[in-house]
Structure 1
Protein backbone atom coordinates (compact mmCIF):
# COMPACT_ATOMS: atom_id res chain seq x y z
CA UNK A 1 0.00 0.00 0.00
CA UNK A 2 1.27 3.44 -0.97
CA UNK A 3 2.04 6.07 1.68
CA UNK A 4 -0.25 9.09 1.38
CA UNK A 5 0.72 11.30 4.32
CA UNK A 6 2.79 11.35 7.50
CA UNK A 7 1.09 12.93 10.50
CA UNK A 8 1.03 12.60 14.30
CA UNK A 9 -1.17 12.42 17.35
CA UNK A 10 -1.43 16.08 18.37
CA UNK A 11 -3.81 15.63 21.30
CA UNK A 12 -2.41 12.81 23.46
CA UNK A 13 0.86 11.02 22.68
CA UNK A 14 2.71 13.08 20.07
CA UNK A 15 3.55 9.84 18.23
CA UNK A 16 3.87 9.78 14.45
CA UNK A 17 1.76 7.66 12.11
CA UNK A 18 1.54 7.06 8.37
CA UNK A 19 -1.64 7.17 6.32
CA UNK A 20 -1.53 4.66 3.47
CA UNK A 21 -3.91 4.27 0.56
CA UNK A 22 -5.84 1.02 0.83
CA UNK A 23 -7.16 -0.05 -2.61
CA UNK A 24 -9.73 -2.39 -1.04
CA UNK A 25 -11.06 0.33 1.24
CA UNK A 26 -10.67 2.95 -1.52
CA UNK A 27 -9.56 5.22 1.30
CA UNK A 28 -6.76 5.64 3.81
CA UNK A 29 -5.68 3.45 6.71
CA UNK A 30 -3.62 4.50 9.73
CA UNK A 31 -0.39 2.58 10.29
CA UNK A 32 0.66 1.28 12.68
CA UNK A 33 -2.60 0.59 14.51
CA UNK A 34 -1.84 0.40 18.26
CA UNK A 35 -2.81 -2.72 20.18
CA UNK A 36 -4.19 -0.74 23.14
CA UNK A 37 -6.23 2.07 21.61
CA UNK A 38 -7.85 2.94 24.96
CA UNK A 39 -4.63 4.68 26.02
CA UNK A 40 -5.06 7.21 23.21
CA UNK A 41 -8.50 8.28 24.44
CA UNK A 42 -7.25 9.29 27.89
CA UNK A 43 -7.53 13.04 27.47
CA UNK A 44 -9.74 15.64 29.12
CA UNK A 45 -9.87 17.40 25.75
CA UNK A 46 -11.70 14.50 24.11
CA UNK A 47 -14.96 16.39 24.08
CA UNK A 48 -17.35 13.64 22.96
CA UNK A 49 -16.55 11.74 26.17
CA UNK A 50 -16.56 14.66 28.60
CA UNK A 51 -19.27 17.21 27.68
CA UNK A 52 -16.54 19.84 28.17
CA UNK A 53 -17.88 23.40 28.20
CA UNK A 54 -14.96 25.50 29.47
CA UNK A 55 -13.18 27.11 26.54
CA UNK A 56 -14.71 29.20 23.77
CA UNK A 57 -14.21 26.34 21.30
CA UNK A 58 -15.96 23.98 23.77
CA UNK A 59 -18.90 26.37 24.02
CA UNK A 60 -19.14 26.71 20.25
CA UNK A 61 -19.04 22.93 19.90
CA UNK A 62 -21.82 22.45 22.44
CA UNK A 63 -24.00 25.13 20.84
CA UNK A 64 -23.70 23.54 17.40
CA UNK A 65 -24.19 20.09 18.91
CA UNK A 66 -27.52 21.12 20.44
CA UNK A 67 -28.73 22.38 17.07
CA UNK A 68 -27.42 19.33 15.22
CA UNK A 69 -29.10 16.80 17.53
CA UNK A 70 -32.55 17.93 16.41
CA UNK A 71 -31.54 17.81 12.74
CA UNK A 72 -30.17 14.29 13.16
CA UNK A 73 -33.40 13.06 14.71
CA UNK A 74 -35.44 14.60 11.89
CA UNK A 75 -33.15 12.90 9.37
CA UNK A 76 -33.60 9.39 10.75
CA UNK A 77 -37.35 9.97 11.09
CA UNK A 78 -37.49 10.83 7.39
CA UNK A 79 -35.75 7.67 6.22
CA UNK A 80 -36.56 5.16 8.94
CA UNK A 81 -39.10 2.35 8.73
CA UNK A 82 -42.33 2.70 10.68
CA UNK A 83 -40.83 0.87 13.65
CA UNK A 84 -39.04 3.54 15.67
CA UNK A 85 -36.35 1.36 17.19
CA UNK A 86 -32.94 3.03 17.31
CA UNK A 87 -29.46 1.75 18.04
CA UNK A 88 -26.75 4.39 18.40
CA UNK A 89 -23.24 2.91 18.24
CA UNK A 90 -20.55 5.02 19.91
CA UNK A 91 -23.21 6.97 21.76
CA UNK A 92 -20.76 9.09 23.76
CA UNK A 93 -22.52 10.85 26.64
CA UNK A 94 -25.97 9.93 25.33
CA UNK A 95 -27.29 13.25 24.05
CA UNK A 96 -28.51 11.97 20.69
CA UNK A 97 -30.33 9.06 22.30
CA UNK A 98 -31.89 11.44 24.83
CA UNK A 99 -33.15 13.63 21.98
CA UNK A 100 -34.53 10.61 20.12
CA UNK A 101 -36.20 9.25 23.26
CA UNK A 102 -38.00 12.56 23.73
CA UNK A 103 -39.31 12.15 20.17
CA UNK A 104 -40.80 8.73 20.89
CA UNK A 105 -37.98 6.41 19.81
CA UNK A 106 -37.35 3.10 21.55
CA UNK A 107 -33.62 3.54 22.14
CA UNK A 108 -30.54 1.38 22.68
CA UNK A 109 -26.92 2.47 22.73
CA UNK A 110 -23.36 1.21 22.84
CA UNK A 111 -20.38 3.14 24.22
CA UNK A 112 -17.07 1.50 25.23
CA UNK A 113 -15.75 4.49 27.22
CA UNK A 114 -16.64 4.21 30.90
CA UNK A 115 -16.57 7.93 31.66
CA UNK A 116 -18.93 8.64 28.77
CA UNK A 117 -21.31 5.89 29.93
CA UNK A 118 -21.40 7.36 33.42
CA UNK A 119 -22.28 10.79 32.06
CA UNK A 120 -25.01 9.23 29.94
CA UNK A 121 -26.36 7.40 33.00
CA UNK A 122 -26.67 10.75 34.79
CA UNK A 123 -29.06 11.75 31.98
CA UNK A 124 -31.08 8.55 32.35
CA UNK A 125 -29.52 6.84 29.33
CA UNK A 126 -28.22 3.31 30.00
CA UNK A 127 -25.55 2.27 27.52
CA UNK A 128 -24.00 -1.13 26.87
CA UNK A 129 -20.23 -1.58 26.65
CA UNK A 130 -20.40 -3.49 23.35
CA UNK A 131 -22.89 -4.87 20.85
CA UNK A 132 -22.63 -8.39 22.23
CA UNK A 133 -24.39 -7.16 25.39
CA UNK A 134 -27.47 -6.03 23.45
CA UNK A 135 -30.63 -8.16 23.36
CA UNK A 136 -31.26 -10.20 20.22
CA UNK A 137 -33.31 -7.82 18.12
CA UNK A 138 -33.18 -5.85 14.88
CA UNK A 139 -33.50 -2.09 14.62
CA UNK A 140 -35.33 0.25 12.30
CA UNK A 141 -32.44 2.69 12.46
CA UNK A 142 -28.78 2.30 13.39
CA UNK A 143 -26.60 5.39 13.67
CA UNK A 144 -22.86 5.98 13.94
CA UNK A 145 -22.04 9.67 14.33
CA UNK A 146 -18.29 9.98 13.68
CA UNK A 147 -17.73 6.45 14.95
CA UNK A 148 -17.01 4.23 11.93
CA UNK A 149 -13.51 5.67 11.57
CA UNK A 150 -12.69 4.44 15.10
CA UNK A 151 -13.67 0.79 14.67
CA UNK A 152 -11.02 -1.93 14.39
CA UNK A 153 -11.79 -5.04 12.30
CA UNK A 154 -13.91 -2.87 10.02
CA UNK A 155 -15.36 -5.62 7.85
CA UNK A 156 -16.57 -7.68 10.81
CA UNK A 157 -17.99 -4.58 12.50
CA UNK A 158 -20.02 -3.65 9.41
CA UNK A 159 -21.24 -7.24 9.08
CA UNK A 160 -22.53 -7.11 12.68
CA UNK A 161 -24.27 -3.79 12.04
CA UNK A 162 -26.06 -5.14 8.97
CA UNK A 163 -27.18 -8.23 10.90
CA UNK A 164 -28.79 -5.91 13.47
CA UNK A 165 -30.66 -3.92 10.81
CA UNK A 166 -34.25 -4.68 9.86
CA UNK A 167 -34.89 -5.57 6.22
CA UNK A 168 -36.57 -2.18 5.77
CA UNK A 169 -34.16 -0.44 8.14
CA UNK A 170 -31.81 2.49 7.64
CA UNK A 171 -28.15 2.81 8.55
CA UNK A 172 -26.83 6.35 9.03
CA UNK A 173 -23.07 6.97 9.01
CA UNK A 174 -21.29 10.29 9.59
CA UNK A 175 -17.56 10.44 8.83
CA UNK A 176 -14.90 13.02 7.91
CA UNK A 177 -13.98 13.39 4.25
CA UNK A 178 -10.25 13.47 3.53
CA UNK A 179 -10.94 14.85 0.04
CA UNK A 180 -12.39 18.10 1.37
CA UNK A 181 -10.68 21.45 0.84
CA UNK A 182 -9.86 21.90 4.55
CA UNK A 183 -8.18 18.46 4.59
CA UNK A 184 -6.02 19.42 1.62
CA UNK A 185 -5.27 22.88 3.05
CA UNK A 186 -4.08 21.65 6.46
CA UNK A 187 -2.41 18.44 5.28
CA UNK A 188 -0.62 16.74 8.16
CA UNK A 189 -2.24 19.16 10.62
CA UNK A 190 -5.83 18.37 9.62
CA UNK A 191 -7.51 17.60 12.93
CA UNK A 192 -9.97 15.08 11.46
CA UNK A 193 -7.13 12.66 10.73
CA UNK A 194 -6.97 12.35 14.55
CA UNK A 195 -4.51 9.46 14.49
CA UNK A 196 -4.42 6.84 15.87
CA UNK A 197 -8.00 7.11 17.17
CA UNK A 198 -9.16 7.35 13.56
CA UNK A 199 -8.07 4.08 12.04
CA UNK A 200 -9.74 4.70 8.67
CA UNK A 201 -10.21 7.79 6.50
CA UNK A 202 -13.11 7.74 4.06
CA UNK A 203 -14.27 9.35 0.85
CA UNK A 204 -17.59 8.96 -0.96
CA UNK A 205 -16.10 6.12 -3.01
CA UNK A 206 -14.97 4.39 0.21
CA UNK A 207 -18.42 4.34 1.78
CA UNK A 208 -20.20 3.27 -1.39
CA UNK A 209 -17.69 0.47 -2.01
CA UNK A 210 -17.41 -1.10 1.44
CA UNK A 211 -21.14 -1.09 2.14
CA UNK A 212 -22.03 -2.44 -1.30
CA UNK A 213 -20.14 -5.58 -0.28
CA UNK A 214 -22.67 -5.97 2.55
CA UNK A 215 -25.76 -5.40 0.40
CA UNK A 216 -26.33 -1.75 1.27
CA UNK A 217 -26.56 1.24 -1.06
CA UNK A 218 -26.19 4.96 -0.39
CA UNK A 219 -29.59 6.59 -0.88
CA UNK A 220 -28.62 10.08 0.29
CA UNK A 221 -25.52 12.10 1.21
CA UNK A 222 -25.86 15.16 3.46
CA UNK A 223 -23.14 17.75 4.17
CA UNK A 224 -22.09 18.60 7.73
CA UNK A 225 -21.30 22.25 7.13
CA UNK A 226 -20.32 23.08 10.71
CA UNK A 227 -17.58 20.46 10.79
CA UNK A 228 -15.26 22.49 8.56
CA UNK A 229 -15.22 25.34 11.08
CA UNK A 230 -14.58 23.18 14.17
CA UNK A 231 -11.99 21.03 12.42
CA UNK A 232 -10.24 24.13 11.07
CA UNK A 233 -10.14 25.61 14.55
CA UNK A 234 -8.39 22.52 15.92
CA UNK A 235 -6.15 22.33 12.85
CA UNK A 236 -4.99 25.92 13.36
CA UNK A 237 -4.01 25.04 16.92
CA UNK A 238 -2.06 21.98 15.76
CA UNK A 239 -0.35 23.97 13.01
CA UNK A 240 0.44 27.24 14.81
CA UNK A 241 0.17 26.40 18.51
CA UNK A 242 -2.70 28.86 19.03
CA UNK A 243 -6.40 29.09 18.26
CA UNK A 244 -6.69 31.51 15.37
CA UNK A 245 -10.46 31.99 15.23
CA UNK A 246 -10.40 34.35 12.25
CA UNK A 247 -8.27 32.07 10.06
CA UNK A 248 -10.22 28.98 11.12
CA UNK A 249 -13.50 30.66 10.19
CA UNK A 250 -12.06 31.78 6.85
CA UNK A 251 -10.79 28.30 5.92
CA UNK A 252 -13.98 26.63 7.14
CA UNK A 253 -16.08 29.03 5.07
CA UNK A 254 -13.86 28.61 2.01
CA UNK A 255 -14.10 24.84 2.33
CA UNK A 256 -17.89 25.00 2.31
CA UNK A 257 -17.93 27.42 -0.63
CA UNK A 258 -15.65 25.17 -2.68
CA UNK A 259 -17.81 22.19 -1.74
CA UNK A 260 -20.82 23.82 -3.40
CA UNK A 261 -19.15 22.87 -6.69
CA UNK A 262 -17.04 19.85 -5.72
CA UNK A 263 -19.59 18.31 -3.30
CA UNK A 264 -16.61 17.40 -1.09
CA UNK A 265 -17.53 18.76 2.36
CA UNK A 266 -15.42 18.39 5.50
CA UNK A 267 -17.75 15.64 6.71
CA UNK A 268 -20.70 13.82 5.19
CA UNK A 269 -23.72 11.95 6.52
CA UNK A 270 -24.49 8.83 4.48
CA UNK A 271 -27.95 7.30 4.53
CA UNK A 272 -27.83 3.61 3.57
CA UNK A 273 -30.52 1.02 2.93
CA UNK A 274 -30.58 -2.49 1.53
CA UNK A 275 -29.97 -2.65 -2.19
Structure 2
Protein backbone atom coordinates (compact mmCIF):
# COMPACT_ATOMS: atom_id res chain seq x y z
CA UNK A 1 0.00 0.00 0.00
CA UNK A 2 1.47 3.30 -1.11
CA UNK A 3 0.52 6.17 1.21
CA UNK A 4 3.02 8.62 -0.30
CA UNK A 5 0.43 11.10 -1.59
CA UNK A 6 -2.26 10.57 1.04
CA UNK A 7 -3.71 13.24 3.30
CA UNK A 8 -2.91 13.65 6.98
CA UNK A 9 -5.98 12.58 8.95
CA UNK A 10 -4.67 13.59 12.40
CA UNK A 11 -1.38 14.18 14.23
CA UNK A 12 -0.97 12.25 17.48
CA UNK A 13 1.60 11.76 20.24
CA UNK A 14 3.08 8.65 21.81
CA UNK A 15 1.74 9.26 25.33
CA UNK A 16 3.07 6.12 26.99
CA UNK A 17 6.76 5.77 26.08
CA UNK A 18 8.64 8.20 23.84
CA UNK A 19 6.58 11.41 23.70
CA UNK A 20 7.28 11.54 19.95
CA UNK A 21 4.70 12.83 17.44
CA UNK A 22 3.38 10.93 14.41
CA UNK A 23 1.03 11.63 11.53
CA UNK A 24 -1.79 9.29 10.54
CA UNK A 25 -2.23 9.16 6.77
CA UNK A 26 -5.62 8.32 5.26
CA UNK A 27 -6.34 5.99 2.36
CA UNK A 28 -9.86 7.15 1.47
CA UNK A 29 -10.71 4.11 -0.65
CA UNK A 30 -9.75 1.57 2.00
CA UNK A 31 -10.76 3.83 4.92
CA UNK A 32 -7.45 2.85 6.50
CA UNK A 33 -4.96 4.98 8.46
CA UNK A 34 -1.20 4.46 8.46
CA UNK A 35 1.17 5.71 11.15
CA UNK A 36 3.89 7.90 9.63
CA UNK A 37 6.78 7.64 9.97
CA UNK A 38 6.77 3.96 10.85
CA UNK A 39 9.82 2.93 12.91
CA UNK A 40 12.13 0.39 11.32
CA UNK A 41 11.39 -3.14 12.60
CA UNK A 42 14.74 -3.16 14.42
CA UNK A 43 13.75 0.00 16.31
CA UNK A 44 10.18 -0.97 17.23
CA UNK A 45 11.22 -2.82 20.38
CA UNK A 46 12.16 0.33 22.28
CA UNK A 47 8.59 1.64 21.95
CA UNK A 48 7.38 -1.36 23.95
CA UNK A 49 9.85 -0.78 26.79
CA UNK A 50 7.34 0.25 29.41
CA UNK A 51 6.20 -1.41 32.61
CA UNK A 52 2.76 -0.12 31.71
CA UNK A 53 2.50 -2.16 28.51
CA UNK A 54 -0.16 -4.30 30.10
CA UNK A 55 -0.54 -7.09 27.52
CA UNK A 56 3.08 -8.15 28.04
CA UNK A 57 2.83 -8.52 31.82
CA UNK A 58 0.71 -10.28 34.40
CA UNK A 59 0.97 -7.23 36.63
CA UNK A 60 -1.81 -6.31 39.07
CA UNK A 61 -0.14 -3.35 40.75
CA UNK A 62 -2.88 -0.75 40.41
CA UNK A 63 -6.67 -0.69 40.55
CA UNK A 64 -6.66 -0.18 36.78
CA UNK A 65 -4.54 -3.29 36.18
CA UNK A 66 -6.64 -5.34 38.62
CA UNK A 67 -9.80 -4.25 36.80
CA UNK A 68 -8.21 -5.07 33.44
CA UNK A 69 -7.30 -8.61 34.50
CA UNK A 70 -10.69 -9.24 36.13
CA UNK A 71 -12.55 -8.32 32.95
CA UNK A 72 -9.96 -10.20 30.91
CA UNK A 73 -10.97 -13.52 32.49
CA UNK A 74 -14.56 -13.17 31.29
CA UNK A 75 -13.35 -12.01 27.88
CA UNK A 76 -11.20 -15.15 27.55
CA UNK A 77 -14.19 -17.40 28.17
CA UNK A 78 -16.26 -15.39 25.68
CA UNK A 79 -13.55 -15.79 23.04
CA UNK A 80 -13.62 -19.56 23.33
CA UNK A 81 -17.41 -19.58 23.09
CA UNK A 82 -17.21 -17.45 19.95
CA UNK A 83 -14.67 -19.75 18.30
CA UNK A 84 -16.72 -22.82 19.07
CA UNK A 85 -19.79 -21.17 17.56
CA UNK A 86 -18.03 -21.10 14.19
CA UNK A 87 -15.87 -24.21 14.70
CA UNK A 88 -17.74 -26.64 16.97
CA UNK A 89 -15.43 -29.53 16.07
CA UNK A 90 -12.21 -28.69 17.89
CA UNK A 91 -8.90 -28.92 16.09
CA UNK A 92 -5.75 -26.89 15.46
CA UNK A 93 -5.69 -23.31 16.77
CA UNK A 94 -2.95 -20.75 16.14
CA UNK A 95 -2.87 -17.52 18.17
CA UNK A 96 -0.65 -14.83 16.67
CA UNK A 97 0.61 -12.30 19.19
CA UNK A 98 -0.11 -14.65 22.06
CA UNK A 99 1.29 -12.32 24.73
CA UNK A 100 1.58 -14.04 28.11
CA UNK A 101 -0.49 -16.99 26.87
CA UNK A 102 -3.69 -16.65 28.89
CA UNK A 103 -5.99 -17.13 25.90
CA UNK A 104 -4.11 -20.25 24.78
CA UNK A 105 -4.30 -21.70 28.29
CA UNK A 106 -8.10 -21.39 28.17
CA UNK A 107 -8.18 -22.83 24.63
CA UNK A 108 -6.01 -25.76 25.69
CA UNK A 109 -8.30 -26.46 28.64
CA UNK A 110 -11.19 -26.48 26.15
CA UNK A 111 -9.43 -29.31 24.24
CA UNK A 112 -7.97 -27.31 21.34
CA UNK A 113 -4.52 -28.21 20.00
CA UNK A 114 -2.73 -24.93 20.47
CA UNK A 115 0.26 -23.09 19.02
CA UNK A 116 1.36 -19.51 19.66
CA UNK A 117 3.49 -16.93 17.89
CA UNK A 118 4.84 -14.06 20.03
CA UNK A 119 7.76 -11.72 19.25
CA UNK A 120 8.24 -10.45 22.81
CA UNK A 121 10.80 -12.62 24.59
CA UNK A 122 9.52 -11.44 27.98
CA UNK A 123 5.89 -12.30 27.25
CA UNK A 124 6.85 -15.58 25.58
CA UNK A 125 8.85 -16.62 28.63
CA UNK A 126 5.83 -16.08 30.88
CA UNK A 127 3.63 -18.09 28.49
CA UNK A 128 6.08 -20.99 28.26
CA UNK A 129 5.90 -21.21 32.04
CA UNK A 130 2.16 -21.82 31.61
CA UNK A 131 2.77 -24.77 29.24
CA UNK A 132 2.29 -22.96 25.93
CA UNK A 133 4.07 -24.20 22.79
CA UNK A 134 5.36 -21.66 20.26
CA UNK A 135 6.38 -21.58 16.62
CA UNK A 136 9.57 -19.54 16.30
CA UNK A 137 8.00 -17.46 13.51
CA UNK A 138 4.93 -17.47 11.30
CA UNK A 139 6.80 -18.77 8.27
CA UNK A 140 7.56 -21.99 10.19
CA UNK A 141 3.87 -22.88 10.49
CA UNK A 142 2.93 -25.50 7.83
CA UNK A 143 0.55 -24.55 5.03
CA UNK A 144 -3.15 -25.40 5.37
CA UNK A 145 -2.56 -26.69 8.91
CA UNK A 146 -4.87 -24.59 11.13
CA UNK A 147 -8.62 -24.73 11.65
CA UNK A 148 -8.69 -21.40 13.48
CA UNK A 149 -6.26 -18.46 13.49
CA UNK A 150 -6.77 -15.70 16.05
CA UNK A 151 -5.23 -12.24 16.28
CA UNK A 152 -6.52 -10.39 19.35
CA UNK A 153 -5.46 -6.74 18.94
CA UNK A 154 -2.40 -7.74 16.92
CA UNK A 155 -3.02 -6.85 13.25
CA UNK A 156 -2.54 -3.15 14.03
CA UNK A 157 1.05 -3.93 15.14
CA UNK A 158 2.11 -5.77 11.96
CA UNK A 159 4.51 -3.84 9.66
CA UNK A 160 3.23 -5.39 6.39
CA UNK A 161 -0.52 -6.02 6.62
CA UNK A 162 -0.89 -7.36 3.07
CA UNK A 163 1.93 -9.89 3.56
CA UNK A 164 0.43 -10.90 6.90
CA UNK A 165 -2.95 -11.64 5.32
CA UNK A 166 -1.20 -13.64 2.57
CA UNK A 167 0.43 -15.76 5.29
CA UNK A 168 -2.89 -16.25 7.09
CA UNK A 169 -4.37 -17.51 3.81
CA UNK A 170 -1.46 -19.92 3.38
CA UNK A 171 -1.71 -21.38 6.89
CA UNK A 172 -5.50 -21.68 7.09
CA UNK A 173 -7.27 -24.89 6.14
CA UNK A 174 -9.75 -24.57 3.22
CA UNK A 175 -12.70 -24.47 5.64
CA UNK A 176 -10.83 -22.53 8.32
CA UNK A 177 -11.83 -19.43 10.25
CA UNK A 178 -9.81 -16.29 11.05
CA UNK A 179 -10.81 -14.13 14.00
CA UNK A 180 -9.32 -10.64 14.20
CA UNK A 181 -9.91 -7.98 16.86
CA UNK A 182 -8.78 -4.39 16.22
CA UNK A 183 -9.70 -0.87 17.37
CA UNK A 184 -12.07 1.18 15.21
CA UNK A 185 -11.00 4.76 14.54
CA UNK A 186 -14.54 5.64 13.42
CA UNK A 187 -16.01 5.06 16.89
CA UNK A 188 -17.54 7.83 18.99
CA UNK A 189 -14.76 7.67 21.60
CA UNK A 190 -12.14 8.07 18.83
CA UNK A 191 -13.96 11.14 17.50
CA UNK A 192 -14.49 12.61 20.98
CA UNK A 193 -10.92 12.23 22.25
CA UNK A 194 -9.21 13.00 18.92
CA UNK A 195 -5.44 13.21 19.33
CA UNK A 196 -5.76 11.88 22.90
CA UNK A 197 -7.57 8.66 21.86
CA UNK A 198 -5.56 5.93 23.56
CA UNK A 199 -6.22 3.29 20.89
CA UNK A 200 -4.14 5.19 18.34
CA UNK A 201 -1.20 4.09 20.55
CA UNK A 202 1.45 5.26 18.07
CA UNK A 203 3.87 4.02 16.93
CA UNK A 204 3.10 0.56 18.35
CA UNK A 205 -0.10 0.66 16.30
CA UNK A 206 1.14 0.99 12.74
CA UNK A 207 -2.35 0.73 11.18
CA UNK A 208 -5.81 1.95 12.19
CA UNK A 209 -8.79 0.07 10.77
CA UNK A 210 -12.42 0.59 9.89
CA UNK A 211 -14.98 -2.09 8.97
CA UNK A 212 -14.43 -1.18 5.31
CA UNK A 213 -10.65 -1.61 5.59
CA UNK A 214 -10.94 -5.11 7.05
CA UNK A 215 -13.50 -6.23 4.46
CA UNK A 216 -11.48 -4.93 1.50
CA UNK A 217 -8.02 -6.03 2.64
CA UNK A 218 -9.08 -9.61 3.38
CA UNK A 219 -11.36 -9.71 0.33
CA UNK A 220 -8.33 -9.21 -1.89
CA UNK A 221 -7.12 -12.64 -0.71
CA UNK A 222 -10.47 -14.36 -1.21
CA UNK A 223 -11.27 -14.26 2.50
CA UNK A 224 -14.81 -13.11 3.23
CA UNK A 225 -15.98 -11.11 6.22
CA UNK A 226 -18.95 -13.05 7.57
CA UNK A 227 -19.66 -11.35 10.91
CA UNK A 228 -18.72 -8.24 12.90
CA UNK A 229 -19.10 -8.27 16.66
CA UNK A 230 -18.68 -5.48 19.25
CA UNK A 231 -16.07 -5.39 22.00
CA UNK A 232 -18.09 -3.26 24.41
CA UNK A 233 -15.61 -3.28 27.27
CA UNK A 234 -12.95 -1.68 25.07
CA UNK A 235 -14.83 1.63 24.99
CA UNK A 236 -14.49 1.90 28.79
CA UNK A 237 -10.86 0.76 28.87
CA UNK A 238 -9.83 3.09 26.03
CA UNK A 239 -11.83 6.03 27.39
CA UNK A 240 -10.19 5.69 30.81
CA UNK A 241 -6.73 5.80 29.25
CA UNK A 242 -7.77 8.65 26.95
CA UNK A 243 -8.92 10.67 29.97
CA UNK A 244 -5.48 10.14 31.52
CA UNK A 245 -3.74 11.33 28.35
CA UNK A 246 -6.06 14.33 28.03
CA UNK A 247 -6.18 15.50 31.66
CA UNK A 248 -3.08 13.94 33.22
CA UNK A 249 -5.04 11.85 35.70
CA UNK A 250 -7.17 8.71 35.75
CA UNK A 251 -10.74 10.04 35.66
CA UNK A 252 -12.86 6.94 36.29
CA UNK A 253 -16.19 8.79 36.20
CA UNK A 254 -15.43 10.65 32.97
CA UNK A 255 -13.94 7.58 31.30
CA UNK A 256 -16.87 5.37 32.25
CA UNK A 257 -19.36 7.97 31.03
CA UNK A 258 -17.66 8.41 27.64
CA UNK A 259 -17.37 4.65 27.24
CA UNK A 260 -21.07 4.28 27.95
CA UNK A 261 -21.98 7.03 25.47
CA UNK A 262 -19.78 5.39 22.85
CA UNK A 263 -21.56 2.06 23.24
CA UNK A 264 -25.01 3.68 23.12
CA UNK A 265 -24.16 5.54 19.91
CA UNK A 266 -22.62 2.40 18.41
CA UNK A 267 -25.92 0.60 19.00
CA UNK A 268 -27.25 2.76 16.16
CA UNK A 269 -24.33 2.95 13.69
CA UNK A 270 -22.38 -0.18 14.76
CA UNK A 271 -19.10 1.70 15.09
CA UNK A 272 -17.88 0.38 18.44
CA UNK A 273 -14.52 1.26 19.99
CA UNK A 274 -13.21 -2.14 18.86
CA UNK A 275 -14.66 -4.94 16.75
CA UNK A 276 -14.14 -8.66 16.38
CA UNK A 277 -14.15 -9.74 12.73
CA UNK A 278 -14.95 -13.32 11.76
CA UNK A 279 -13.55 -14.24 8.34
CA UNK A 280 -13.66 -17.41 6.26
CA UNK A 281 -11.87 -18.78 3.22
CA UNK A 282 -14.01 -18.60 0.08
CA UNK A 283 -11.40 -19.01 -2.69
CA UNK A 284 -8.53 -21.50 -2.40
TM-score, normalised via structure 1 length: 0.97
**Aligned residue for 2:231?**
224
CA deviations 1:145-174 (Å, max 9, x no partner) are 000000011111110011100000000000
Please give the residue correspondences for 1:64-75 in structure 2 after superposition, counting only pairs within 5 Å.
64-75=71-82
Could you list the runs of 5+ residues in structure 1 that have no partner in the other structure?
A: none
Given that 1:81 and 1:168 are in contact with CA atoms closer than 8 Å, whether structure 2 keeps it comes out as no
Given that 1:81 and 1:170 are in contact with CA atoms closer than 8 Å, whether structure 2 keeps it comes out as no
Tell me which of 200, 210, 219 is aligned to 2:217: 210
1:210–1:136: structure 2 CA closer, same or farther, 3 Å change rule?
closer
Q: What is the CA–CA distance in structure 1 between the aligned matches of 2:32 and 2:149, rounded to whole Å?
A: 23
**Aligned residue for 2:98?**
91
Tell me which of 167, 178, 185 is aligned to 2:174: 167
1:233 is the counterpart of 2:247: no
Post-superposition shift, 1:24? Answer: 5.5
**Aligned residue for 1:199?**
206
Residue correspondences, number: 275
Post-superposition shift, 1:137? Answer: 5.3
Post-superposition shift, 1:81? Answer: 6.5
Q: Secondary structure at the match of 1:226?
A: helix
Q: What is the CA–CA distance in structure 2 between the aligned matches of 1:45 and 1:83, rounded to whole Å?
A: 35
Tell me which of 6, 9, 12 is aligned to 1:7: 12
CA deviations 1:208-263 (Å, max 9, x no partner) are 00000010111111100000000001101111100000000000000000111011
Q: What is the CA–CA distance in structure 2 between the aligned matches of 1:257 and 1:232, rounded to whole Å?
A: 14
1:145 is the counterpart of 2:152: yes
Report the aligned-residue RMSD. Answer: 1.2
Could you list the runs of 5+ residues in structure 2 that have no partner in the other structure?
A: 1-5
Q: What is the CA–CA distance in structure 2 between the aligned matches of 1:57 and 1:6, rounded to whole Å?
A: 27
Q: What is the CA–CA distance in structure 1 between the aligned matches of 2:99 and 2:58, rounded to whole Å?
A: 9
Q: What is the CA–CA distance in structure 2 between the aligned matches of 1:181 and 1:52, rounded to whole Å?
A: 30
Q: Tell which deviates more after alignment, 52-61 or 223-232.
A: 52-61
